[in-house]
Amino acid sequence: MLPYSFPGHALAFLRNSEEVLATGKKYFGCTNHPFALNLGGSIFYAIFNPVDVAAVFNAGPKLSFDGFLHGIMAEFGSSQTAIQKVLNVPDESQLGLSPRQSVSELAHHFQVKQTSGSELKLLIQHIVCFFQENLLLEGLKNHTSPSFYVDCDGEKCVSLKYWTAEVFIHAGQNAYFGDELLKIDPTLPQVLMRMDELSWQIFYRYPWFLRPELNRLTSRLRSTLHQYLKLPKHQRKSVAWFTQFLESEYRRVGLDDEDIAAQMLFLYWGINTNVSKVGYWMMAHIAFDPSLAEIVREETEPAFQEDESLDVEYLANACPRLNCLWLEVLRLSASSTTLRYITEDQELGNYLLRKGRALMISARQLHHDETAFGEDAHLFKPDRFLKSPKLQRSYCFRPFGGGKTLCPGRHLAKWMVLSFIAIVFRRYDVDLAKPQKFPRYQENKPAIGIISGCDDVFLRLKARK
């Protein structure tokens, strides 16, 4: 157990969870051995050894995620009855696509199907068309968001944080929910942006009465989704069939519209927020290093056809420098924490993990492991994965988690970000609008997936001839 003063490690963990974990590693001699933390009276084992991490992801039901998922669903507004219906495996008398799987398991399985193979190609084709129609300079200048197109010393410029968030949220919203959500509430992406900034309070069980703004935002999002569900199905068409499939499964097990709206909020938040942050960090790194912009343009040019349509598979498979940039950005920005409940005593290496406790795996700690990534692991090196391709298969590289909770949308996220970058740098010269420092990682707030930036970046866009 890492030493602590009353009342445990919880307050320090809320202030900066990664600093607590890094301090613990140093205290125990940087050996990568697990150690225990007291978080609000609950004991968590922090796991660092990449071999142990692989064992956790390959473990069976002795290490369960359902307990955490139960709590998250409740925080998003689902009733206890609805949560049980979503997480429990139905008996043989209940009809469905698979009576041996819970709705939660089915959702994961079919989201994987939606974001792979031919289904992924159809989805990304729609999203690329959305990007091409909306990444227009005229549209930026006329944008209604008050923080979107701002003055920089008397000159108009783009707020990178708001630009990437709104573009990616609009794209994901359109693909999964069609046009109707935007008609119900045109400001919904901005509401989600703010809700996401506060979402750490949900995942770290911040007391309900101390988070009034977050409560108002989640209530507003659920209300909008509730209105959306009241519309006739034929009016709620989207290119992603997964959304209506999921709704049908919720109705099959007896959820009402309010509980379905709460479950849909979890989906809406999950598909829209982390991908925009990767886009933000990719753009920031390229904007601060003009040589990267030229590499992107040169490497992606063959992906554009005569009619300016984009071959996204070319981006994913034939642009090694762009893909290595994506991997390095993920390595430094992914800050997800894998959590598991220990349902039975579990041996892990030379250690015994006790039933009733929990364990955590920090992607950020793994991604800064100097034995895997070298003494410069804390630095951004755009060619790191180009020089050492095997790093992306390292047990220390876990930007999307692993095991049963491996992110099902990881391929879609990659294709979206690469498409966005390719289109932007084909159309525009991108410069810093004023002298600025590279944005800092927001390490003082717990991150759920991709870490946010403490600072905005203001860009000047000029149409290329």
End-to-end CA distance of the chain: 62
4 CB-near residues (< 8 Å, 6+ apart):
12, 38
Residue 373 in contact with residue 28, Cβ under 8 Å? no
Length of the chain counted residue by residue? 465
> Which residues sit in the known binding site for heme?
407
Q: How would you write the chain as a 3-class SS string?
A: CCCCCCCCCHHHHHHCHHHHHHHHHHHCCCCCCCEEEEECCEEEEEECCHHHHHHHHHCCCCEECHHHHHHHHHHCCCCHHHHHHHHCCCCCCCCCCCCCCCHHHHHHHHHHHHCCHHHHHHHHHHHHHHHHHHCCHHHHHCCCCCCCEEEECCEEEEEHHHHHHHHHHHHHHHHHHCCHHHHHCCCHHHHHHHHHHHCHHHHCCCCHHHCHHHHHHHHHHHHHHHHHHHCCHHHCCCCCCHHHHHHHHHHHCCCCHHHHHHHHHHHHHHHHCHHHHHHHHHHHHHHHCHHHHHHHHHHHHHHECCCCCECHHHHHHHCHHHHHHHHHHHHHHECCEEEEEECCCEEECCEEECCCCEEEEEHHHHHCCHHHHCCCCCCCCCCHHHHCHHHHHCCCCCCCCCHHHCCCCHHHHHHHHHHHHHHHHHHEEEEECCCCCCCCECCCCCCCCECCECCCCEEEEEECC
> Which residues sit in the known binding site?
407
